[in-house]
Structure formats: C-alpha cells, structure tokens
Amino acid sequence: MRYTADEKRYNDMKYRKCGNSGLYLPVVSLGLWQNFGEETPLDIQKKKLFKAFDLGITHFDLANNYGRPADGSAEENLGRILKSDLNSYRDELIISTKAGYDMWPGPYGNGGSRKYIMASLDQSLKRMGLEYVDIFYHHRPDPDTPLEESMTALADIVKQGKALYVGISNYKAEEAEKAVKILNDLKVPCLINQIRYNMFERWAEEKLFEILENSGTGCMCYSPLAQGALTNRYINDVPSDSRAARTGTTIAERYLDEEKLLRVRELNKIAEERNQSMAQMALAWVLRRKEITSVLIGASRSEQIEDNVKTIQNLEFSEDEIVRIENILK
C-alpha cells in the first residue's frame, strides 16, 4: 500500500530560518549516514523515513559515500523510496548531499577539484532520480585544491539548476570565512556550514559561530549525541555486542573513556530533573544556541526518531541548569 503522509505532520515541529536565506529547516533533521545502506532492509528504511516525515522532519541529509557499501548505496535507496512513495511530496522535502571524500579510483574521485565535484553531483542525482538537490555541500576542505576552484564549482552548480543552495561541511573558522566570502563575491551565498558539535566537542564556540552569524550563514550540527555517548545507552556500562565496544571505533576512542562516562552520569541527573532523556537534553543543549539552525540525528529504529523529536517540547534552560552543566563539562 502506497504511503500517505500524516495530515498533522506540521502541527508540532519547530522550524528555524537558515541564516539570512528564506529557507526554513526543521530543528531536528534526519541523517542517512548509517542504517540506510544495503545492511538495512528497505522496508525498515521506509518506516524510518515515513515516521520522520509524519513528525514534521522535512530535511533528509546524505552524501555520496553514505550507507554501506560507501558507494552511493544510501542515495540509491532514497531514490527507490522517493520513486515508490515520496515523489508526490518532493516539494515538501529538503534533500541534501555532499562530495569531498573517496568515491571512485584514480585522481578524480576525491577532494575539491571542479572535475570531482561536478561529476559526483551528477552521479548523486542519477542515483536518487532527481533533477536537483535542495542543498549541495562540499564535504571537507581540500588543501590540494584552491578554495576558489571548489567554491566556483559550487556556484556554477546553482547557476546550472542542479542545486537550489550550496553549503560547506567540516570547515573551521578561517576556512569557512574565506569560503563564504568567495561565494558571496560570486553572487551565490553560502547557505550553511555543517559541523560536528556536541557537549564534548565545542571548538566552534571559539570563533566559528561568530563568523557564521555575522555572515548570515546557517549551521547544521552532526553527531550532537556524540555517536550515542550522550544517551542513556552507556551510562552503566558498554554492552559487549555494541559498536562502541570494538577497539578502534570512533565512538570508543573519542567519547567513551571513563572520565566522559562519569560526566554523562552527572549530566543525566539534570536531564531527569528536566523530565528528559539524556539524548533529549543533549539535543536541546545544542539547539540552545541561536546560531544553530538544526541538529542531525541518526536512527536504527523509528522509535528513536520519535524520542528525539520530543526534544522540542523542552528547549529552554534556566541559568542554574546552564551553570551546572558547564561545571560538569569543565
């Protein structure tokens, strides 16, 4: 049976204006980095996408290398679901993708060259069965390519009608400032910078947020839950069968030392006082900043999406809560 969206899907979700643009994004967006490749049955992927849209999540975020295998499998699966169920809702959706990391062999399958960026987007559009994406990002700065070349390619993509907006991802303060200026000079504003930001990783507070606000550039935050570390899952211990238990994984090396776990346990006490789960408070803490447009969540189950969206019921923090949280994070 073909999917029909919930008529009440816009009743509760909150939307924020993205920088100085006229585009509004849901404060909670869905990332298709994991659990949307060949490892996950298509019917489960559908359930998650449908649940997200029914809850007012209009933004689905991808990249050319998302999904497993990292050869466009997430884009291909989204393309199948768009064709079978979501095509009639295309104008209600914000679909973004990126190029910047390894995609195919040889010198033209990686980086920031015009050759790679243009070819990658053409491949992404073909995989998804789309004429254009709403947002196209350069996924990372490429020190081997002049920034002007990468940004000019982005601007030309908009002028060709293959993307409505363009953005940058993983750009630090100085790099972002230069990229935004180049795009402004080309009369194609930088819509957004997508960065890693959470309670444990706050480098963007030093200078980047100020640059984005002053330039009218939005901010999308990925890993707001520190890949699951800022949830209730690891408060007592790390399950032996979890991805986090495997030595060498990003979450194990970056987030799950005993010092951080102690902090999460203390933070969870504040979350309980707020009648929130640890994950909900961690998302709300990111969204407390006026510079941030949206947070990207991932999900292995549709129930996780529903739980994360409940964050919007309590986005405010008292001064006392902020002080207590800062003392824990220090």
**pLDDT tens digits for range 38-94:** 999 999 999 999 999 999 999 999 999 999 999 999 999 999 999 999 999 999 999
Positive or negative torsion for Cα 273, 275, 276, 277: positive
> Per the domain annotation, does 4 fall within a domain?
no
**Cα gap 17→27, rounded to integer Å:** 10
Residue type, 238: V
**Average pLDDT of span 31-44:** 96
> Per the domain annotation, does 6 fall within a domain?
no
Query: What is the token pair recorded at 231?
Result: 């949830």
pLDDT at 250 over 80: no
Residue 271's closest CA among 325, 329, 320?
325
**Cα gap 154→184, rounded to integer Å:** 12
> Per the domain annotation, does 5 fall within a domain?
no
Residue type, 279: A
> Per the domain annotation, does 75 fall within a domain?
yes
Q: How many CB atoms neighbour CB 237 within 10 A?
A: 10
> Per the domain annotation, does 10 fall within a domain?
no
Residues 6+ apart with CB under 8 A from 37: 66, 67, 68, 69, 70, 73, 74, 77
> Per the domain annotation, does 54 fall within a domain?
yes
* Residue whose token pair is 């991805």: 243
What size, in residues, is the chain? 330
What domain range includes position 248? Answer: 15-329
**pLDDT tens digits for range 42-51:** 999 999 999 9
6 three-state secondary structure? coil
Query: Based on the structure, what is the number of domains in the chain?
Result: 1
137 three-state secondary structure? strand
**Cα gap 62→125, rounded to integer Å:** 12
How big is the chain by its Cα radius of gyration, in Å? 19
Burial class for 15, CB neighbours closer than 10 Å (0-12, 13-18, 19+): middle
209 neighbors 219 (Cβ within 8 angstroms): yes
The pLDDT score that the predictor gives to residue 308 is 98
**pLDDT tens digits for range 91-146:** 999 999 999 999 999 999 999 999 999 999 999 999 999 999 999 999 999 999 99
DSSP annotation of 30 reads E
**Average pLDDT of span 223-249:** 74
> Per the domain annotation, does 1 fall within a domain?
no
Residue 235: pLDDT band (50, 70, 90) is confident
10 neighbors 59 (Cβ within 8 angstroms): no
**pLDDT tens digits for range 164-212:** 999 999 999 999 999 999 999 999 999 999 999 999 999 999 999 999 9
208 neighbors 175 (Cβ within 8 angstroms): no
> Per the domain annotation, does 7 fall within a domain?
no
